[in-house]
């Protein structure tokens, strides 16, 4: 299912950010009931050659796959969408002008400036016909990522930008930018996130966020959050390994 179709159901749903090159993780998360994955091309050590395999795995398992671009990178955004990504999360959006540029890079003329090629995977290698361009303009999710005090300050103008599909909120970068060293539980971070959610609801724009804290996630959903990334696969893997090792310590207290 494409990401915009998930949003149209108007029911909350969950996903992950993905930094490992693991199609198997995408499949497993789908079978566990998660609905989307955001493949992180900003921080992961791979590129679009891996992304296309992740998209294939997600499609096969019924998972919507977004690509998180490294920035307002026209070439990479175009390639990710040509490969069949359901949408693009564009980081570090601080102004309405940047949000408008993100929307333009994700859509074909006359709505944008995305480069066109009929033979790409997203057009079934040409089998999709000329309707492909208008269809993808309708189906592609454009999701600005607010993760700085400037983005929070200009959130209302960003939400009013024509062509954006949803908003995403990044608490980790926001905390670092606020001088809080990544403390996502600081009240100032929570206050900023909830303010942006309230503004998104007032503007009628779907909004998502990253959080691993069920209590704060519940508060965000009560404010109207539409979708939640429950964490990052690498950290999930680390924490699972830690729990397993700790559970075995009583069996051999002198374990090295």
Residue-wise pLDDT tens digits, 160-204: 999 999 999 999 999 999 999 999 999 999 999 999 999 999 999
Checking if the pLDDT of 130 tops 90, the result is: no
Read off the tokens for 180.
């809080």
* Angle at which helices 74-82 and 96-105 cross, to 10°: 40
Q: How far apart are CA 32 and CA 17, in angstroms?
A: 15
What is residue 157's DSSP assignment? H
Determine whether 43 is an active site residue. Answer: yes
pLDDT tens, 34-65? 999 999 999 999 999 999 999 999 999 999 99
Residue 111: alpha-carbon gap to chain centroid: 22
**Per-residue pLDDT band at 1 (split at 50, 70, 90):** confident
**Cβ–Cβ under 8 Å, residues 4 and 141:** yes
3-class secondary structure, 129: coil
Cα radius of gyration rounded to whole Å, the chain: 19
pLDDT tens, 7-35? 999 999 999 999 999 999 999 999 999 99
Residue boundaries of the structural domains of the chain: 3-250
pTM of the full structure = 0.96
CATH of domain 3-250: 3.20.20.60
Catalytic residue among 43, 124, 154, 223: 43
Q: How far apart are CA 61 and CA 66, in angstroms?
A: 14
């Amino acid at each position: 299912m494409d990401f915009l179709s998930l949003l149209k159901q108007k029911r909350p749903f969950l996903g992950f950010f993905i930094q490992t090159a693991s199609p198997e993780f995408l499949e497993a998360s789908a079978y566990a009931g998660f609905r989307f994955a955001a493949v992180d091309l900003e921080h992961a050590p791979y590129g679009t050659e891996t992304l296309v395999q992740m998209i294939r795995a997600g499609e096969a398992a019924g998972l919507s796959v977004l690509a998180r671009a490294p920035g307002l990178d026209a070439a990479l955004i175009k390639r990710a969408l040509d490969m069949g990504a359901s949408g693009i999360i564009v980081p570090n959006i601080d102004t309405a002008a940047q949000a408008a540029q993100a929307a333009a890079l994700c859509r074909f003329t006359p709505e944008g400036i995305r480069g066109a090629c009929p033979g790409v995977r997203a057009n079934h290698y040409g089998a999709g016909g000329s309707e492909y361009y208008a269809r993808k303009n309708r189906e592609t999710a454009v999701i600005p990522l607010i993760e700085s005090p400037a983005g929070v300050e200009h959130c209302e103008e960003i939400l009013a930008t024509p062509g954006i599909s949803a908003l995403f909120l990044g608490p980790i970068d926001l905390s670092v930018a606020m001088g809080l060293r990544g403390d996502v539980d600081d009240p100032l971070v929570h206050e900023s996130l909830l303010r942006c959610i309230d503004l998104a609801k007032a503007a009628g724009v779907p909004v998502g966020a990253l959080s691993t804290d069920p209590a704060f996630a519940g508060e965000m959903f009560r404010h109207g959050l539409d979708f939640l990334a429950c964490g990052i696969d690498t950290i999930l893997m680390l924490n699972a390994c830690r729990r397993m090792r700790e559970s075995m310590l009583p069996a051999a207290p002198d374990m090295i």
